[in-house]
Amino acid sequence: MADLKAGVNQLFLREEELRTGMELLFYAYREFTAEPDEILEQYGFGRAHHRVIYFVGRYPKITVSELLAILKITKQSLSRVLGELVRQGFILQQTGVRDRRQRLLELTEKGNELERQLSETQRQRIARAYRMVGAEAVEGFRKVMLGMLEESDRAKFTPLAPPRLTAVKR
Amino acid sequence: MADLKAGVNQLFLREEELRTGMELLFYAYREFTAEPDEILEQYGFGRAHHRVIYFVGRYPKITVSELLAILKITKQSLSRVLGELVRQGFILQQTGVRDRRQRLLELTEKGNELERQLSETQRQRIARAYRMVGAEAVEGFRKVMLGMLEESDRAKFTPLAPPRLTAVKR
DNA sequence: ACAAATTAGTCAGCACGGTAGACATAAACG
DNA sequence: CGTTTATGTCTACCGTGCTGACTAATTTGT
């Protein structure tokens, strides 16, 4: 009887625990994007612009196809926002030297400023959370999040750092 | 000199650590929604339908305004998807007894089945991650995620469980 | 050298889910 | 009885995904 009760209770805890995880992800993601969204609005941009700016800032000289592989959207979708960002002087395209078909993407100074402005609130939000809980909890957070990723995405984080794109011919 | 170098290094680690956090959130959220999205497609539904089904399942007898407060979308947006779900027999509306203006929402059996089907993949993904890392890391994850929320949302999780809506007149 | 594959871009059209404003109805409240 | 609240509807717009079809420049492989 005691065993049965414990079992049921654990089942309940488990179910509740999993739901909590799902909801934490939902609420956290929404609040994580809320502040940048407001800033973007002032520029007539949306979340898609933010993502492009972020990853171009993260990986200077990234090619269009590498960016597509990260974002997992179609080139038509990317083209729309990337085109706006280039035309409005936030991103610079340089023809590749090794392969002149490639357009290597980079943030301009203007683009860099916007990137910093957009990500600042997010960095602060994470920094605040990290500070609140201590290094051990942060490590736990990192582990759980990694555990939720597919192998392919997980690879991007393996050494815990240097921003290198997966070995792609450049 | 040694101090300075350490300082710089810590700054780098910090920046890199924060970026890692941001990206973990981005990738995890995307993969978290990918599988349900495929299932939803078969029903002609989208992510918005999933959210409604999830929270109605989570809080049976929830009112429309409570649901709006959770989702933080406009009633016009909600109305579109909620209407479809009701008309197609996934959700039941009952007139409130205490307040007959309210429509208390509940999943039908059909709705419950869909909810289980949709959330199952997500529960498994979380369960897998939790299992991979152990209880301590899970607690760290929970703490960090809570730290990223606004006070208002955090309140929903405070006792670590019982699904009770914030004290709203019902 | 030339054909094939790759990289990038464009145009048109569609779906989804968010927004806003305006308005309607029923019920509760004071 | 007038006001407020809860819900719903109609219209229109926007951002951001998607597909399909097509073009151009460049590299690669035989």
- Kindly give the confidence (pLDDT) of every residue in chain A, 170 residues in length, as a single tens digit, with 9 standing for 90 and above: 555 556 566 666 688 999 999 999 999 999 999 999 999 999 999 999 999 999 999 999 999 999 999 999 999 999 999 999 999 999 999 999 999 999 999 999 999 999 999 999 999 999 999 999 999 999 999 999 999 999 889 989 976 554 555 544 33
**Separation of B134 CA and C19 C1' (Å):** 43
Q: Is the pLDDT of residue B34 over 60?
A: yes
**Class of the CATH-defined domain B2-155:** mainly alpha
**Separation of A77 CA and D6 C1' (Å):** 40
Angle B25-B27-B32 from CA coordinates, rounded to 5°: 90
Q: Which fold has domain A2-157?
A: Arc Repressor Mutant, subunit A (1.10.10)
Q: Where are the alpha helices (DSSP H) in B44-108?
A: 47-58, 64-71, 75-87
Rounded distance between C-alpha atoms, residue B100 and residue B161, angstroms:
30
CB contact under 8 A, B148 and A28: yes
And the tokens for A115?
A: 């990137």
Which strand C bases fall within 7 angstroms of a protein CB? 6-13, 16-22, 26-29
DSSP conformation letters of A134-147: -HHHHHHHHHHHHH
And the tokens for B137?
A: 């890391």
Contact (Cβ atoms closer than 8 angstroms) between residue A70 and residue A31: no
Interface contacts (A, B; CB < 8 Å)? 168
Q: What is the DSSP letter of B164?
A: -
Rounded distance between C-alpha atoms, residue B28 and residue B14, angstroms:
21
Q: What is the DSSP letter of B98?
A: S
Output the CA torsion B38→B40→B42→B43 (10° steps): 180
For the stretch B126-129, contacts whose Cβ atoms lie closer than 8 Å and that sit 24 or more positions apart, written own/partner, are B126/A18, B126/A21, B126/A22, B126/A148, B127/A14, B127/A18, B128/A147, B128/A148, B129/A144, B129/A145, B129/A146, B129/A147, B129/A148
Helix (H) or strand (E) holding A125: helix A109-133
Which of the 7-26 residues on chain A come under 7 Å of nucleic strand D at their beta carbon? none
Q: Is A16 exposed, middle or buried (0-12, 13-18, 19+ CB in 10 A)?
A: middle
**CA B2 vs CA A58, B11, B17: distances in Å:** 29, 14, 22
Sign of the alpha-carbon torsion through B37, B40, B41, B44: negative
Q: Where are the domains of chain A?
A: 2-157
**CA B147 vs CA A125, B125, B154: distances in Å:** 8, 22, 8
Q: Which residues of A touch B32 (CB under 8 A)?
A: 22, 25, 148
Amino acid B128: pLDDT: 93
Q: Which member of A20, A127, A137 has the closest CB to residue B143?
A: A137
Q: Which nucleotide is closest to the Cα of B78 by its C1'? A: C17
Provide the shortest C-alpha distance from residue B156 to chain A (in Å).
Answer: 10
Mean pLDDT of B1-29: 79
